[in-house]
């Protein structure tokens, strides 16, 4: 028979494993445009307008992560562009009040056009910044680290 503390530890370990297994795959778009030859990165706020990030969301059934990144850029920011199929990395984050650590694959989206009318228009703030400003502004530490790594590459 398992001791009470051993049982609690086992139950917690199983809960974490199930939580990770149930966490839906996510993808994010690092939207890049060039102005006067200099790259700019799109940042969008969360809906509460309290944190900066990049377009991201769930990978739908039958969709690849790069397709999801391209779709999220379009839905959340009106970005028309092409996503690189190869992920440049990933970051993890937890939603407030959840133990679940969500894994988000990062894809560069080459911006071709920015629509003025789109699905989530008016729900978020948007701004274009250079890469150092993007790395320092995002509200997800691991995402900021990944953007800093891009600076060094």
Interval 5-23: pLDDT, tens: 665 676 656 655 555 555 6
- Spatial distance between the Cα atoms of 40 and 79, rounded to a whole number of angstroms: 13
Q: Which has the closest alpha carbon to 100: 38, 58, 71?
A: 58
CA angle centred on 85, ends 60 and 133, rounded to 5°: 95
Q: What is the pLDDT of residues 115-127, one digit of tens each?
A: 988 888 888 999 9
CA distance between the termini of the chain: 54
SS3 category, 143: helix
Q: What is the pLDDT of residues 70-119, one digit of tens each?
A: 999 999 999 999 999 999 999 998 877 777 788 999 999 999 999 988 88
Token pair of 144 as six digits? 């900021």
- Spatial distance between the Cα atoms of 50 and 79, rounded to a whole number of angstroms: 22
Confidence of residue 2 (pLDDT cuts 50, 70, 90): very low
pLDDT of residue 49: 85
Window from 33-42, 50-59, 99-108, 130-139 with minimum mean pLDDT: 99-108
- Which CATH class for the 24-152 domain? alpha beta
- Spatial distance between the Cα atoms of 146 and 93, rounded to a whole number of angstroms: 13
């Amino acid at each position: 028979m398992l001791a009470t503390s051993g049982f609690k530890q086992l139950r917690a370990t199983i809960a974490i494993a199930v939580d990770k297994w149930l966490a839906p795959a996510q993808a994010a778009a690092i939207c890049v445009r060039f102005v006067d030859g200099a790259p700019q990165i799109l940042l969008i706020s969360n809906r509460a307008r309290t944190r900066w990030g990049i377009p991201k969301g769930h990978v739908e059934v039958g969709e690849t992560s790069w397709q999801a990144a391209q779709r999220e850029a379009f839905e959340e920011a009106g970005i028309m562009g092409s996503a690189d199929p190869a992920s440049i990395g990933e970051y993890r984050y937890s939603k407030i009040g959840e133990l679940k650590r969500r894994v988000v694959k990062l894809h560069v989206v080459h911006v071709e056009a920015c629509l003025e009318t789109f699905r989530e228009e008016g729900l978020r703030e948007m701004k274009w910044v250079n890469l150092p400003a993007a790395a320092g502004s995002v509200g997800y530490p691991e995402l900021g680290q990944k953007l800093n790594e891009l600076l060094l590459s």
